[in-house]
């Protein structure tokens, strides 16, 4: 590892309170619907676990793995795993992400899910970079809009570390870190 944890951006209590609010909103919006939550791994795991427990109705939980980062940089290539076997035709799909940063992951996963002909497709992300406010994708649920800093914790990593922090922290890479 080269870099350091610089500061806490969103503390654990604030995160949990917002996640509970989002769960209640989703439960109300999807009342009476056949909701499939698709968790985008690995980053989405902690958010998805807490969010789904805050959705007070029956849901189905599925997982897709996407990977595009090396260090703090997007490689520009998104690898998707476990998407072939996913059958969501005719069902209401809510994709759950930890963060939308460049938006590249979202574009690729969205295309792959839309091709499976769900009844509806929507995105719920915990974090959203404000630099993307003009992004063409409609994002139905956003936990927090944040500035353009590299963040770790609550599922987000730097080279696979810090996912288990209970809060969101700013990670400051060394000048030489890619």
Q: Which of residues 143-172 bind ligand PRP (CB under 6 A)?
A: 157
* 29 versus 157: smaller Cβ distance to ligand PRP: 157
Q: Of residues 14, 68, 172, 177, which one binds ligand PRP by CB under 6 A?
A: 68
Q: Of residues 83, 105, 151, 158, which one binds ligand PRP by CB under 6 A?
A: 105
Strands of 11-72, DSSP E: 35-41, 60-70
Q: Of residues 69, 141, 150, 154, which one binds ligand PRP by CB under 6 A?
A: 69
Residue 110 to residues 20, 25, 57, 127, 130, Cα–Cα distance (Å)? 25, 22, 25, 17, 20
Q: How far apart are CA 113 and CA 25, in angstroms?
A: 23
Tokens of 157: 């990593």
Q: Which of 46, 59, 53 is nearest to 97 (CA)?
A: 46
* 44 versus 118: smaller Cβ distance to ligand PRP: 44
Looking up tokens 């139905």, which residue turns up? 140
Q: How far apart are the first and last CA of the chain?
A: 11
* 57 versus 111: smaller Cβ distance to ligand PRP: 111
* CB 123, min distance to ligand PRP, A: 11
* 82 versus 117: smaller Cβ distance to ligand PRP: 82
Is residue 40 near ligand PRP by the rule CB under 6 A?
Answer: yes
Is residue 100 near ligand PRP by the rule CB under 6 A?
Answer: yes
Is residue 125 near ligand PRP by the rule CB under 6 A?
Answer: no
Q: What angle do CA 42, 37, 52 make, to 5 degrees?
A: 85
Q: How far apart are CA 65 and CA 29, in angstroms?
A: 26
Interface with ligand PRP (CB under 6 A), residue total 19
Question: Which residues here bind ligand PRP, judged by CB under 6 A?
Answer: 40, 42-43, 66-69, 74, 97-106, 157
């Amino acid at each position: 590892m080269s870099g350091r944890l610089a500061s806490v951006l969103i503390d654990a209590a604030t995160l949990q309170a917002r996640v509970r609010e989002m769960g209640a909103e989703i439960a109300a919006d999807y009342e009476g619907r056949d909701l499939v939550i698709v968790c985008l791994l690995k980053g989405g795991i902690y958010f998805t676990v807490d969010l789904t427990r805050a959705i007070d109705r029956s849901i189905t939980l599925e997982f897709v793995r996407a990977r595009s980062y090396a260090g703090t940089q997007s490689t520009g290539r998104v690898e998707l795993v476990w998407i072939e076997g996913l059958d969501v035709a005719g069902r209401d799909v809510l994709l759950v992400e930890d963060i939308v940063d460049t938006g590249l992951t979202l574009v690729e996963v969205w295309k792959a899910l839309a091709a499976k002909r769900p009844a509806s497709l929507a995105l719920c992300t915990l974090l959203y970079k404000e630099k993307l406010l003009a992004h063409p994708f409609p994002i139905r649920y956003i936990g927090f809009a944040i500035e353009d800093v590299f963040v770790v914790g609550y599922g987000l990593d730097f080279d696979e570390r810090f996912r288990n922090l209970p809060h969101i922290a700013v990670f400051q890479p060394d000048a030489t870190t890619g």
